[in-house]
Amino acid sequence: MATLGKRGVGFRSLTEGIDTATSNGRLVFHLFGALAEFERDLIRERTAAGLAAAAARGRKGGRRPAVTPEKLARAETLMATGLTVREAAGRLKVGKTALYEALARRNAAAL
């Protein structure tokens, strides 16, 4: 807003009655901005505290893997019998990309 103000551009909100061309309007605009920044900081702090508390309880975020170790072992058995990755993924009802990634992780861990 400061850059626009230097160029002679103002901001007028029709619903809130804010007009940055006036000193009162600039004050209200800056107060709203400060309150919004304060609220965002509070949300960030609460989120970090919640994640830390969950981690302390042994919880971790994110989705559960679609390909469990049991499904991966079953997929390897199916592929050993001649099925492709796509066919094995179809039989196990997992995505072929997820199966490829699980196989890559298994191979990387084996190295």
Burial of 35-51, coded b for 16+ CB within 10 Å and e otherwise, reads eeeeeeeeeeeeeeeee
Same domain, 27 and 73: no
| Banded model confidence at residue 108, pLDDT cuts 50, 70, 90 | confident
5 pLDDT more than 80? no
> Does 64 reside within a domain?
no
> Does 84 reside within a domain?
yes
Which domain does 47 fall in, by range? 2-56
Radius of gyration from C-alpha coordinates of the chain = 28
pTM reported for the whole predicted model: 0.52
40 pLDDT more than 90? yes
Residue 9 is encoded by which pair of tokens?
A: 């551009």
Domain boundary among the residues 56, 82, 97 is at 56
Quick: pLDDT tens for 44-93: 999 999 999 999 999 888 888 889 999 999 999 999 999 999 999 999 99
